[in-house]
Amino acid sequence: LSMDNTYSADEIREFDKRVKKNLGVDKVDYVVELKIDGVSISLLYEKGRFIQGATRGDGFNGDDVTINLRTIRSLPLNSSVRKGVRFPSAFEARGEVYIPRKAFLKINREKEKKGEEVFANPRNAAAGSLKLLDSSLAAKRHLDMWIYGFGGVEGASFKTQYEAISFLKDAGFHTNPHIKKYHSIEDVIKYCNEWESKKDSLDYDIDGMVIKVDMFSYQRDLGQTSKSPRWMIAYKFPAERKETRLEDIIVQVGRTGTLTPVAVLKPVELSGSTVSRATLHNQDEIMRKDIRVGDCVIIEKAGEIIPQVVEALKNKRTGKEKRFSMPKKCPACGSAVENIEGEVALRCENLRCPAQLKERIKHFASRQAMDIEGMGEAIVTQLVDKKMVEDYGDIYYLKHDEVKGLERMADKSASNLIDAIVKSKANSLNRLIFGLGIRHVGVRAAWILAARFGSLERVTSLDTEEFEKINEIGPIMAKSIYAFFRSKENKRVIEKIKRAGVNIEAIGNRRKTMKLEGKSVVVTGSLESFTREAIEELIRAEGGNASSSVSKKTDFLVAGKDPGSKFDKAKKLGVRIISEGKFKKMIK
C-alpha cells in the first residue's frame, strides 16, 4: 500500500483530528521519520539469518535482489540483540535502499568519462544498481539503507512503532537517527518544518516526512482503505520551483487517444534532475494561466514527480510571445479530434492511430502490466513504424529473426526479448487486465476484477450492473469496462492473445460464489492467521466491504485478541461479533 500525501500544516492537523475521532480518544502519540527518497525493499530473516531480499515492486510483485543486497555493508547478515531480548523466529524488515550524494556524483562522473548516459537522480541510480547482474559492480556503487519497521514478525510482540524501531537498532539494523516520538501534533508539525529547512545538510535525499500513529493497537483499529493506511501519512515538502523559458508547445497523443499539450523548455536543473519538458494539462489550463510560446515561466515538480508549468511571468514579455491553440486534427494520424462530453481533454478516436498504438504497447509491456523486459520505447517505436506490431496481440507472434533486424538489436538481445515475451504468457490475470489499457482501470481495479471473477472469459461476459455491484468500481469505470469488451477491435485482439497461449485465469481464485457478497465487515484486534492487510483483501475478494468503522450498517465484526474500541461500539449497537475461527469457517 502507498501513503496518503499532505502538503500543509493544516492537512496534518486534519489527519490528527480524523485519527482521534475514529479512535474515540483525546491523545495520540506519533512517530515521525524522514521520508527517504530511495528504493523500497523487504528483507526476510529466519532465526537471525538474512534469507532473502526483494524490492517492493507494484505492491504485488517485486524483484529478488538478494545477491546485490548482500553487498551492502550496513545490512546485517546475522543479527544479534542485547541480552534478555528474545529474537523473533522469523520476520520481514522493511526499509529504503539509497545511494549517498557523494557516491552518486562519483558514479555519474565515471559514466561521463566513458561516454555513457548518466543517472537522472540518486533514486534511479539505486534502482539500477540493485538490478545489476554482476554483484561485484553493485558493491562498487556504495549502496546503503535505512530500516524503518517490520512487515511481519513471528515470536515477538511489540506494542509500538518506536519500540519496534529500538529493537531493530539493537539487532544491528541501520535505523535512521532522526526518528522521533511526539505527544502533540503541533510538535510533529514543528519537527517537519525543521527538516524542510535543513534537508540539504544530509548526504542523502529526502522528499518529506512520514507521520505514523505509534501504538500498534491503534493502527489495527484504524485499519486502511483500498489504497493506503489510515494511521500513516506523508508530509511532502513544498515543490522546488525554477524559472526557465518555454520554447515551444507540442501535442502528445496518449494510449487512450487523449491529446495533451506539453511545454518544451530550456533545460533546467530541478529537484535533482534535468527538466526539458513539462505538462500543460489541456487547453483550458493554458488559457487560464495565459501561457504563451516564448514566455519566461515558473516550473515545479508536482508531488516531486511530474514537472508542470505553474505560471507565466507576464512582466518579462517582449511582445514576441505567441498564443497557442489545440489542433483540430490528431498530430499523429490526421484524424479529426473530438471533445468527449463531460471531459476537458480532446481525444483522437482512431484506434489505429500510431501514437496511441505505441503508448498502448509500452503500457502493455510495462513493469506493472506484462513486464516484458527489453521492450522499451526505442524498440516499440521501431516495431510500430515498421508495422511489425499493429496491436499488443502481435507481440506474441514476433520471431527471433524479425527482432534481430531492428536497430541496436544484436542476436543475444533479440533472444532475450523473445524469452521475455514467452515468459510473460504465464503472468497473473490482474497484470493482463491492467495491460489491456482499459480507461479508468488501474492496478488496484485490475486486481479486484481478477480476484472477483477468476477469468478473462467471465469479465468479458458481464454487463455494467455486475461491475457496479463491486464496492470499489463506480458507474464511470463500469461503463468503461463494459464498452472496452464490447468493442469488435478489442475482441479480435483478445482472441489473438488467447491463441498465443497467454494465461487468462486467476490462479487459485476460481470461487463460483462470493461468500461475503454485499456484506459490510469490520476487523479489530490481533489475528493469528492473517495480517490486517491480508484479511481485508480476502473480504474484498469475497465480495464484501472491509470497513474501518462500526455503524448500524455493519453486518458483523471479526474480533481478534485484544480488540479495541470498535468491539465496545459493536456491542452497544447490537452488531454481530464473530471470532477469527468463525470467520475462517465462513469463507472456507
pLDDT in tens, 272-281: 678 999 989 8
Greatest mean pLDDT among 158-172, 221-235, 483-497 lies in 483-497
Whether 513 is covered by a domain: the verdict is: no
Q: Is the pLDDT of residue 341 over 90?
A: no
Q: 515 in a domain, yes or no?
A: no
| Across 85-89, 539-543, 556-560, least confident range | 85-89
Average pLDDT over residues 385-395: 95
User: What percent of the chain clears pLDDT 70, i.e. is strictly above it?
Assistant: 93
pLDDT at site 513: 60
**How many structural domains compose the chain?**
5
Q: Are residues 279 and 150 in the same domain?
A: no
pLDDT tops 80 at residue 152 = no
| Terminal-to-terminal C-alpha distance of the chain | 26
Q: What is the pLDDT of residues 405-419, one digit of tens each?
A: 898 888 888 999 999
* 140 part of a folded domain: yes
3-state secondary structure 265-299: EEEEEECCEEEEEEECCCHHHHHHHCCCECCEEEE
Give pLDDT, residue 294: 97
Of 308, 339, 370, the residue that ends a domain is: 339
Residues whose CB falls within 8 Å of the CB of residue 528, separated by 6 or more in sequence, listed in order? 560, 561, 580
pLDDT tens, 458-513? 999 999 998 988 877 889 899 999 999 999 999 999 999 999 999 999 865 544 46
Domain end marker among 470, 499, 528: 499
Residues 70 and 217 in one domain: yes
Report the chain's mean pLDDT, rounded to a whole number.
Answer: 88
Confidence at residue 511, expressed as pLDDT on a 0 to 100 scale: 46
From the list 538, 547, 551, the residue with the least C-alpha distance to 586 is 538
Whether 133 and 50 share a structural domain:
yes
Q: Per-residue pLDDT for 536 more than 90? A: no
Residues 24 and 129 in one domain: yes
* Inside any domain, residue 443: yes
Same domain, 170 and 84: yes
The structure's pTM equals 0.59
Could you tell me if 261 and 393 lie in one domain? Answer: no
491 and 410 in one domain?
Answer: no
Instruction: Kindly report the CATH number assigned to the domain that includes residue 382.
Output: 1.10.150.20
| Residues written for the chain | 588
Indicate the pLDDT class of residue 267, thresholds 50, 70 and 90. Answer: very high
Give 566 or 160, the one with higher predicted confidence. 160
Task: Give 347-369 pLDDT, tens digit per residue.
Answer: 998 988 999 999 999 999 998 89
Annotation says 35 is catalytic: yes
pLDDT tens digits for range 419-461: 999 999 999 999 999 999 998 898 888 988 998 888 999 999 9
Looking at residue 507, its pLDDT comes to 66
Candidate ranges 123-137, 284-298, 553-567; pick with highest mean pLDDT: 284-298
| Catalytic residue of the set 35, 362, 519, 569 | 35
Supply the CATH number for residue 559's domain.
3.40.50.10190
Partnered with residue 90 across adjacent β-strands are 46, 154
Residue with cell 529473426: 401
Residue 180, pLDDT above cutoff 70: yes
505, part of any domain: no
Is residue 213 domain-shared with residue 107, that is, in the same domain? Answer: yes
User: d(Cα 539, Cα 555) in Å, to the nearest integer?
Assistant: 12
pLDDT in tens, 7-17: 899 999 999 99
Q: How confident is the model at residue 546 (pLDDT cuts 50, 70, 90)?
A: confident
Is 296 in the same domain as 311?
Answer: yes
Supply the pLDDT for residue 415.
Answer: 92
Residue 308 belongs to domain with CATH number: 2.40.50.140
For the segment 125-147, the average pLDDT, to the nearest whole number, is 89
The domain of 539 spans 520-587
The arithmetic mean of pLDDT across residues 45-60, rounded, is 79
**Residue 117 and residue 223 in one domain:** yes
pLDDT at 368: 87
For residue 518, is pLDDT > 80? no
The answer to whether position 344 is within a domain reads: no
Confirm whether 508 is domain-assigned: no
Asked if residue 70 is part of any domain, the answer here is yes
3-class SS string, 315-351: HHCCCCCECCCCCCECCCCCCEEEECCCCCCEEECCC
Which cell numbers in the block locate residue 175? 535505523
Among the candidates 294, 313, 339, a domain finishes at 339
Residue-wise pLDDT for 57-116, tens only, equals: 655 556 889 999 999 999 988 876 655 556 677 888 999 999 999 999 898 888 777 766
Residues 71 and 210 in one domain: yes
Which pLDDT value is given to residue 80?
A: 63
Same structural domain, 231 and 247: no
